[in-house]
């Protein structure tokens, strides 16, 4: 591509008052010999926008705009895909945060312009990856969530395949006698309505239902998955665009709750068994068939207990309230006792709780169950730590354990997601053993033929999530979304909302893929990794470190990219020791060129230079916010945005130091249990890789203090000036980079 550069410098928003724009223009015109360099007092105004548009019409194909943050005025400064655009942040990062009309401020602006031009010279227009994309949505699991996702996707005009393991649709909902009220005024039990929903699904011409079916194999990538479904001994091959996993839950195994007498006494049952009893008619004791006159419900039977299920299962309180009414509606003289840790009935369900409380025969008491014993023709539940300050005993014909739920994704025995061979044999028993980032794959459901493993990687407690707070429904496999109780414990009302959300995500996936665009969080991005395979050493770092399992591998361990699986984080680019992975607008070479464009003053000028690599997702916008708030910091730091700190290639450190840069800051998102990295493990990987940088420093006989790695969330913008200033103090103490004058 023949580059024809145009540089446009804005003088608005106090840029013109703070900087010498003529001098700044000379950077473009004299240093870089850019023919077209224009300044305008109000570039985002109509006249300014026309100025640029006219030049593009006349042949400019690479536009450098030195004005506000690239996060501002995106609609105005937006051009055809063939035009390369580079934004130089003079407003937030220069004039709003530094002394006006100052030599150092001017030098900062000039460096940023150099870096912008250097980058623009190397960036090529994106050529979107476009294949024939199938937009059929596969839903795995035919419970309330799966059926809802299927219906919602079908209503939006998409073809849907729904695969259910059991012989009929409906899931757990079809096993319920009644459901607790889901409508105002939240007073009366309701029919589940599941039959109508099943009929709706079965009658929808866009939905192809496979019951009694399982997935044998899934290959491919979003927009082009090939899924092999086995049903009644025969196989069907499906072309699929995106996948929703709604494989639900199983009740926690009550056998593990021997302290609550399950298995020992036939009249101790679970809440799920209680539904069966209620469906059979009068609720009778399993032991002797006596119609129950008193029932004790034990809440949190295993839930919120480190030895069993550490989390709340969300609907067990409401289920017991509902079942209490089964008992009192059957026999007005019956007594019901509910022993709880906390009754959790969020939102309007509080009205239902109140309604059951008002039931004369229902007693509530907070406490811990110490044990259950039998005698005198009934069971006695011993409760301690009650709010009476004394133990109480409850005599009951029937004891119902309100057990919680385990996601069906919970691996019983499975391979670890990381390639560490020694841990692959590890057995996993209770949920409590799961570390937050378990590193385990979900139990078999999708049978993915991916280099990184057969199922979705699971997070805390075996749920296959990717980022609980920021990216609901998303998993660590692009184009595969989880919903319903396999995603998080939720009741049917929440599941319906949730499944609708997941259907939208699945639709977004096929639509974006068909345009060759990335998915959240880089939804506009049309670039994708290009591998210069001649130099690949088959080291497998990219195939192992991609957080989304984008790469498959051939038998010789060559990476095989699947661009529609790619989230464009460039973590593979950071991982590659041979530096063969590049994007059209983001490569090792492009960033190196930016580094090299920085002017490093001689040592006796006493103007140190620091490069700060800032994650585009949190740290970079945080620095914008610091500028918006007019927080000031030293003018010696040069900021380079990176897609993710995980995309940092170590060679940039070496390039910087050998050029005479005095120190390097790397600021990424928080990692660990509550990570905020938009690409799951990028910041963690960066931190890990930087440990290895020590070797580089030693080779260059440099101090380790010259490199700092920070974690920062977007709300911590006010910490940035201090991080910068403190780092400069450290650099001052350590002294100038000895390579400066070479």
Q: Which residues bind other proteins (CB under 8 A)?
A: 335, 337, 343, 353-354, 357-361, 363-366, 380, 382, 387-395
Residue 311 vs 364, nearer CB to other proteins:
364
Smallest distance, Å, CB 183 to other proteins? 22
Residue 124 vs 361, nearer CB to other proteins:
361
Smallest distance, Å, CB 343 to other proteins? 7
Sheet (strand 137-140) strand order: 207-210, 160-163, 137-140, 242-245, 480-482
Q: How far is CA 349 from CA 140, 169, 173, 232, 481, in A?
A: 30, 27, 19, 42, 28
C-alpha neighbours within 13 Å on the C-beta side of residue 108: 31
Helices (H), 259-315: 271-279
d(CA 549, CA 543): 7
d(CA 592, CA 597): 9
> Please, are residues 572 and 542 in contact by the beta-carbon 8 Å criterion?
yes
> Please, are residues 677 and 644 in contact by the beta-carbon 8 Å criterion?
yes
Residue 263 vs 393, nearer CB to other proteins:
393
Smallest distance, Å, CB 367 to other proteins? 11
Burial of 737 (0-12, 13-18, 19+ CB in 10 A): buried
| Nearest partner of 389 among 369, 358, 421, 366, judged by Cα | 366
Smallest distance, Å, CB 391 to other proteins? 5
Smallest distance, Å, CB 395 to other proteins? 6
What is the total residue count of the chain?
Answer: 742
> Please, are residues 589 and 706 in contact by the beta-carbon 8 Å criterion?
no
| Nearest partner of 668 among 626, 637, 638, 711, judged by Cα | 711
Smallest distance, Å, CB 383 to other proteins? 8
Smallest distance, Å, CB 345 to other proteins? 10
Residue 282 vs 391, nearer CB to other proteins:
391
DSSP codes of every residue in 382-417:
EEES-TTSS-EEEEESEEEEEE-EEETT--SS--BS
Q: How far is CA 654 from CA 24, 648, 665, 687, 693, in A?
A: 29, 12, 13, 16, 9
Smallest distance, Å, CB 337 to other proteins? 7
C-alpha neighbours within 13 Å on the C-beta side of residue 220: 22
Smallest distance, Å, CB 312 to other proteins? 17
| Nearest partner of 129 among 450, 644, 530, judged by Cα | 530
303 — alpha (psi -120 to 50), left (phi > 0) or beta? Answer: beta
| Nearest partner of 373 among 383, 364, 365, judged by Cα | 383
Smallest distance, Å, CB 680 to other proteins? 40
Smallest distance, Å, CB 387 to other proteins? 5
Smallest distance, Å, CB 357 to other proteins? 5
What is the maximal distance between C-alpha atoms in the chain?
Answer: 100
Tell me how far the alpha carbon of residue 123 is from its chain's centroid: 29
Residue 235 vs 370, nearer CB to other proteins:
370
- DSSP annotation of 132 reads P
Residue 157 vs 389, nearer CB to other proteins:
389
d(CA 221, CA 52): 40
Residue 356 vs 503, nearer CB to other proteins:
356
> Please, are residues 369 and 260 in contact by the beta-carbon 8 Å criterion?
yes
Residue 236 vs 386, nearer CB to other proteins:
386
> Please, are residues 91 and 621 in contact by the beta-carbon 8 Å criterion?
no
Q: What tokens were used for 547? A: 């957080």
Residue 387 vs 533, nearer CB to other proteins:
387
Tell me how far the alpha carbon of residue 130 is from its chain's centroid: 25
Q: Pairing between strand 84-89 and 62-67?
A: parallel
The helix or strand, by DSSP H or E, that contains position 48, with its residue range, turns out to be helix 46-57
Tell me how far the alpha carbon of residue 32 is from its chain's centroid: 42
Residue 359 vs 368, nearer CB to other proteins:
359
Q: Is 721 helix (H, G, I), strand (E, B) or coil?
A: helix
Residue 315 vs 353, nearer CB to other proteins:
353
Query: Which residue shows structure tokens 């490093």?
Result: 600
Q: Cα 728–110–121 angle (5° rounding)? A: 115
d(CA 475, CA 473): 6
Smallest distance, Å, CB 378 to other proteins? 11
| Nearest partner of 629 among 708, 695, 719, judged by Cα | 719
Residue 312 vs 428, nearer CB to other proteins:
312
Smallest distance, Å, CB 366 to other proteins? 6
From the DSSP assignment, how many helices (H) and strands (E) are in the chain? 17, 30
Smallest distance, Å, CB 341 to other proteins? 12
Residue 103 vs 342, nearer CB to other proteins:
342
Smallest distance, Å, CB 397 to other proteins? 14
Residue 130 vs 395, nearer CB to other proteins:
395
Smallest distance, Å, CB 388 to other proteins? 6
Helices (H), 242-315: 271-279
Residue 205 vs 389, nearer CB to other proteins:
389
Residue 357 vs 713, nearer CB to other proteins:
357
Residue 346 vs 393, nearer CB to other proteins:
393
């Amino acid at each position: 591509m023949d580059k024809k550069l145009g540089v446009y410098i804005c003088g608005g928003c106090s840029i013109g008052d703070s900087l010498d724009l003529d001098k700044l223009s000379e950077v473009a015109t004299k240093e870089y010999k850019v023919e077209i360099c224009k300044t305008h007092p109000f570039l985002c105004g109509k006249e300014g926008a026309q100025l640029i548009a006219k030049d593009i019409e006349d042949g400019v194909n690479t536009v450098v705009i030195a004005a506000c943050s690239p996060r501002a005025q995106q609609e105005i400064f937006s051009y055809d895909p063939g035009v390369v655009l580079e934004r130089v942040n003079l407003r937030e990062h220069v004039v709003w945060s530094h002394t006006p009309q100052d030599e150092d401020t001017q030098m900062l602006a000039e460096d940023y312009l150099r870096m912008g031009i250097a980058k623009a010279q190397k960036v090529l227009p994106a050529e979107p990856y476009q294949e024939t994309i199938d937009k059929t949505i596969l839903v795995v699991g035919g419970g309330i969530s799966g059926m809802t996702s299927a219906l919602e996707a079908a209503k939006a005009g998409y073809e849907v395949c729904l695969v259910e393991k059991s012989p009929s649709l409906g899931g757990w909902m079809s096993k319920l006698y009644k459901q607790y009220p889901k409508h105002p005024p939240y007073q009366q039990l309701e029919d589940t309505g599941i039959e109508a929903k099943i009929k709706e699904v079965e009658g929808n011409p866009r939905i192809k239902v496979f019951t009694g079916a399982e997935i044998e194999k899934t290959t491919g990538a979003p927009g082009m998955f090939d899924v092999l479904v086995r049903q009644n001994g025969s196989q069907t091959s499906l072309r699929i665009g995106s996948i929703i996993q709604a494989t639900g839950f199983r009740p926690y195994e009550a056998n593990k709750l021997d302290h609550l007498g399950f298995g020992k006494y036939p009249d101790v049952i679970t809440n799920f068994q209680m539904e069966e009893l209620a469906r059979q008619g009068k609720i009778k004791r399993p032991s002797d068939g006596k119609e129950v006159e008193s029932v004790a419900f034990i809440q949190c039977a295993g839930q919120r207990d480190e030895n069993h299920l550490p989390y709340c299962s969300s609907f067990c309180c409401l289920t017991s309230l509902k079942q209490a009414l089964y008992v009192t509606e059957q026999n007005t003289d019956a007594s019901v006792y509910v022993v709880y840790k906390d009754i959790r009935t969020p939102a309007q369900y509080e009205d239902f709780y109140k309604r059951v409380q008002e039931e004369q025969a229902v007693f509530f008491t907070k406490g811990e169950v110490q044990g259950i014993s039998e005698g005198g023709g009934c069971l006695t539940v011993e409760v301690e730590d009650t709010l009476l300050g004394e133990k109480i005993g409850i005599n009951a014909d029937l004891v119902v354990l309100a057990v919680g739920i385990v996601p069906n994704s919970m691996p019983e025995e499975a391979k670890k997601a990381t390639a560490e061979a020694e841990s692959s044999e590890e057995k996993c028993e209770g949920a409590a053993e799961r570390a937050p980032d378990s590193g385990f794959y979900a139990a078999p459901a999708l049978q993915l033929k991916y280099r990184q493993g057969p199922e979705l990687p699971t997070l805390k407690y075996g749920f296959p999530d990717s980022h609980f707070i920021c990216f609901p429904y998303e998993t660590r496999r692009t184009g595969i979304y989880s919903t319903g109780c396999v995603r998080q414990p939720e009741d049917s009302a929440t599941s319906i909302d949730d499944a609708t959300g997941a259907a939208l995500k699945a639709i977004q996936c096929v639509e974006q893929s068909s345009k060759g665009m990335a998915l959240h969080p880089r939804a506009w991005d049309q670039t994708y990794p290009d591998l210069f395979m001649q130099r690949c050493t088959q080291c497998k770092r990219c195939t192992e470190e991609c957080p989304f399992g984008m790469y498959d591998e051939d038998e010789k361990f060559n990476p095989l990219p699947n661009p529609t699986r790619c989230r464009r984080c460039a973590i593979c680019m950071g991982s590659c020791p041979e530096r063969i992975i590049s994007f059209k607008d983001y490569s090792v070479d492009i960033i190196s060129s930016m580094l090299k464009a920085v002017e490093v003053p001689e040592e006796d000028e006493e103007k140190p230079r620091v490069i700060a690599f800032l994650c585009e997702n949190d740290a970079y916008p945080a620095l914008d916010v610091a500028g918006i708030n007019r927080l000031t910091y030293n003018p010696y730091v040069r900021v380079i945005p990176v897609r993710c700190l995980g995309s940092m290639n170590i060679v940039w450190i070496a390039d910087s130091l050998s050029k005479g840069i005095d120190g390097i800051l790397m600021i990424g998102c928080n990692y660990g249990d509550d990570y905020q990295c938009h690409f799951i493990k990028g910041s963690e990987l960066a931190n890990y890789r930087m440990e290895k940088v020590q070797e580089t420093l030693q080779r260059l006989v440099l101090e380790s203090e010259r490199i700092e790695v920070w974690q920062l969330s977007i709300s911590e913008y006010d910490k940035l000036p201090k991080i910068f200033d403190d780092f400069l103090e450290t650099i001052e103490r350590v002294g100038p980079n000895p390579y400066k004058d070479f």
